[in-house]
Structure 1
Amino acid sequence: MTGRRRTRSTFLPWHHRFTRHVRSSALLAGALTASASLLAGCGVIPGTTGGSGDTSITVMTWAPEDTSATNKPGMPAFARAYARWINAQGGLGGRALKVLTCNDRNDSVGAAKCARRAVKEGAVAVVGSYSQYSDSFFPTLQGAGIPYIGGYGVTNAEFTSPLSYPVNGGQPALLAGLGRELSGVCGRVALVRPDTIAGDALPSLLDSGLDAGGHADATDQPAAEDATEYSAQAQKALAEATRGGGKGCVVPALGGRTSTFMDSFRRDDDASSVRTATVLGSVDQTVINSTGGAAGPYEGAYVTGWYPVASDARWNGMKKIISDEAFTDNRIEADDTGVQTTYIAYTVFKKVVESLGSGQVTADTVRSALDDGLRIETGGLTPTLRWQFADRLGSVGLPRLVNADVSLQVVRKGRLVAAKSGSVDVTATLESANLD
């Protein structure tokens, strides 16, 4: 494994701890004011001005679209719908919200271009976005002091950078929560994960939950993240999960390639002899729908998620926005975890602007409000959010992770439904994890 090329700045090995000596100039330099006028270009949502001049507030949402890997088109599409909706309500305190959107194209160059555009066009925050290339975009945001609110949670930097304000627990919380739940229902557990830097961190996270439940560690099976089929890996995982008797569990955590693995897995005659389980981000309702629903490979699978299931009434506010402003936009699904994350991120941003009253809304004032301990309620979709320089999980290298709640879901009749009521806080599980 020493000769593998590592290309993505996702969850780095846990011994690369976040250093607390962040230069103050990186935090404070270049605070930007909202633009007096927005440069013309695609992806801009027009709105009315508040008062005699243009007092609009500009933000950006980015995500990969039309690529051969992970795509999240619903996130920028929802951001545009949100802008139309909030502006129809009179804007944010009488100021129009202007949303820039950007396609990061799932590569480092695209991510860097998006960040530079955010700076150039006066964005006061990047809100509800997805990118695997934090090393490419965070330095640019940090140099301009632009906060990153509600990233999807796919990179280590989202849980370490002082300019990041995550709304969920990312892969750490999901895998720890999954291990904790599986410890009581599984025999042997086989993890199939990407042979990448991101994948290297996953076994320890899953094992932290298994260990908390007194279960043996999962067997670790790295696999190519860009494979077109996984027959050999499926056979090996089945052999590991069924060894020694008992109802074993196979846990594929291959991101966008999880469905490719599951397609290979279900073709094996022994597939029905084990349980399957995974995490949101590797599968969500849109993936289940596209792979056959109740007749597809995910039927009966356990899934850990960050939020309540999509049928929960707490999502009604998001669904109204979709209904009012994007009913015919098939990129936006209420079941899509990316869309849900973007909605929560814009909820956070709205609360921040409201807290500033009639004061100026800039990258600096937005960041200061968040850093000063502003407590944000999200209607029960998350616990109360409040970011400090280093929260409880700073001891394990995750100082910005403030929401470690996970929900256990299961696929029944082709739908993700709650397997049990409520959510579980896995902060203590992660605190006791051996992540070095």
Structure 2
Amino acid sequence: MTGRRRPPSLHRSGAAFAACAALSASLVSGCGPLPLAAAGPGNPVIVMTWAPEGTAATNMPGMTAMARTYARWVNASGGIDGRELKVVTCNERNNGIEAGHCAQRAVAEGAAAVVGSYSQHGRTFMSPLEMAGIPYIGGYGVTDEEFTSPFSYPVNGGQAALLAGNGQQLARTCERVTLVRPDTVAGDRMVAFINAGLAQDGRHEVTDVLAPEDAEDYTAQARAAGVRPGEGKARSAACVTAVLGDRTDDFFRSFRKLHDGGRDVQIASVLGGVGQDVVNRTGGEDSPFDGAFVTGWYPEPGHPRWEPMRAVVRGHADGEEIDTADPGVQTTWIAYTVLRVVIESLGDSEVTAGSVRRALDRGIEGGVDTGGVTPKLSWRYEDLLAVRDHPRMANAMVTYLEVRHGRVVPVRNGFVSVAETLESNPEDRR
């Protein structure tokens, strides 16, 4: 990975330390770094994975299921370098209070890391982890804190990379782009990133349509995203991209009802909104998503590079439902791959939150090899990208995909870098 100059990393703020008082006294006492159990010979390596389940908004149960499956797999073959891996999971519930509770539990359990997790509540969960010195490896990438905290080690470019890539992918086809996105703080950031991608080909800024994150009906948003008179005559004239997580299909269902099937409009999304599971569920080869553009972080779900993960799920899921095409599941697999490489690099040294973090900061020689589903990963100072407000970003690669005959397939082979787009984004330099 090529090194480059970047803005200085953000250090822990006063707010992080102030959060100490808010931690449950039954779980944590005192402020500052806390003593954590060391994983030496005979002691398991304890880690945590959290994700929301059973909520009215985005749900990611496959991430915690993948974490448990990974532990069953490595422990069945002797553990990681002879160490048992103990995975503790937590339901974050898409709720800031519950996210904080999950983080507090990670501290109480003596976790060496939080791995492959999803939460939109970075302000709530990151402070307890920082104070305890616990690294956050491979979060899903939906919060600012994942790309600013020196204790975070993201494996992808997060929503910023997806949106910038989506803008670049659509700019080649569309005269006008409408973005339908959540009416949340995370959603507010989406507009600047997709505009940065569109600007690479001189396209106009998106039409921004806000939607409640847990809406049951998207008729109003579908009407606001409607096709202007005459635009439907040329498929490439009007494009609508929706980034609503689990509710993306609900929006497009409303959109098709209002706009004569919506077949004359180029539709798009990012992985997590439209994926192979959605295509299968909506008709496969007859899916109304046929022809949709999709921007992802990783290779298409059917790529041979995912076979090691698929084999682990086949052999060790133990009845848990895991969709290996889910980008959350894929992110968790990658994050645990990083964890394994780091633990193996420690040799006979104790595995603690501090030793894991130091190994990540020092870097693995040649970078962490994830089997080609990402570039080799490294979080050394010289390997981080010069993306303003995202100083922890180490991977700005995306993939351009399309739904074709019922399958999510690549539009082009290999990764596309959006690093230059993000680094030059004027709206992110405030």
TM-score when normalising by structure 1: 0.87
Contact 1:187 1:241 in 2 (8 A): no
RMSD over aligned Cα atoms: 2.3
Report matched runs for 1:26-37 at 5 Å.
29-30=33-34, 32-34=36-38
Which AA in structure 1 matches 2:316? E
Answer yes or no: is 1:188 the counterpart of 2:179. Answer: no
1:319 is matched with which residue?
Answer: 310
1:392, CA displacement in angstroms? 5.2
2:260 is matched with which residue?
Answer: 269
1:222 is matched with which residue?
Answer: 210
Q: Which runs of 5+ in 1 are unaligned?
A: 1-16, 37-49
Q: Quick one: distance in 2 between partners of 1:402 and 1:323? A: 31
Answer yes or no: is 1:176 the counterpart of 2:164. Answer: yes
Alpha carbons of 1:18 and 1:137: their partners in 2 closer, same or farther (altered >3 Å)? farther
SS for the counterpart of 2:46 is: strand
Contact 2:197 2:421 in 1 (8 A): yes
1:199 is matched with which residue?
Answer: 187
Alpha carbons of 1:242 and 1:169: their partners in 2 closer, same or farther (altered >3 Å)? farther
1:355, CA displacement in angstroms? 0.6
Answer yes or no: is 1:255 the counterpart of 2:259. Answer: no
SS for the counterpart of 2:49 is: strand
Could you tell me which of 329, 342, 350 is aligned with 1:339? 329
SS for the counterpart of 2:342 is: helix
Alpha carbons of 1:415 and 1:433: their partners in 2 closer, same or farther (altered >3 Å)? same
Answer yes or no: is 1:350 the counterpart of 2:354. Answer: no
Answer yes or no: is 1:133 the counterpart of 2:121. Answer: yes
Could you tell me which of 389, 404, 407 is aligned with 1:397? 389
1:370 is matched with which residue?
Answer: 360
Contact 1:126 1:146 in 2 (8 A): yes
Q: Which runs of 5+ in 2 are unaligned?
A: 1-6, 18-30
2:278 is matched with which residue?
Answer: 287
SS for the counterpart of 1:204 is: helix
Alpha carbons of 1:386 and 1:272: their partners in 2 closer, same or farther (altered >3 Å)? same
1:67 is matched with which residue?
Answer: 55
Answer yes or no: is 1:239 the counterpart of 2:230. Answer: no
Q: Percent identity?
A: 51
1:281, CA displacement in angstroms? 2.2
Q: 1:207-227: CA deviations, max 9, x gaps?
A: 111111222222222222232
2:416 is matched with which residue?
Answer: 424
Q: 1:127-146: CA deviations, max 9, x gaps?
A: 11111111111111111000
Deviates more, 1:122-131 or 1:210-219: 210-219
1:395, CA displacement in angstroms? 4.5
Report matched runs for 1:41-120 at 5 Å.
54-120=42-108
Contact 2:269 2:294 in 1 (8 A): yes
Q: Quick one: distance in 1 between partners of 2:195 and 2:349? A: 48
Contact 1:150 1:165 in 2 (8 A): yes
Deviates more, 1:227-236 or 1:138-147: 227-236
TM-score when normalising by structure 2: 0.88
1:328, CA displacement in angstroms? 3.7
Which AA in structure 2 matches 1:379? G
Aligned length: 403
SS for the counterpart of 1:118 is: helix
Q: 1:281-328: CA deviations, max 9, x gaps?
A: 222222332333333332210000000011111111111110110164
1:152 is matched with which residue?
Answer: 140
Which AA in structure 1 matches 2:34? G
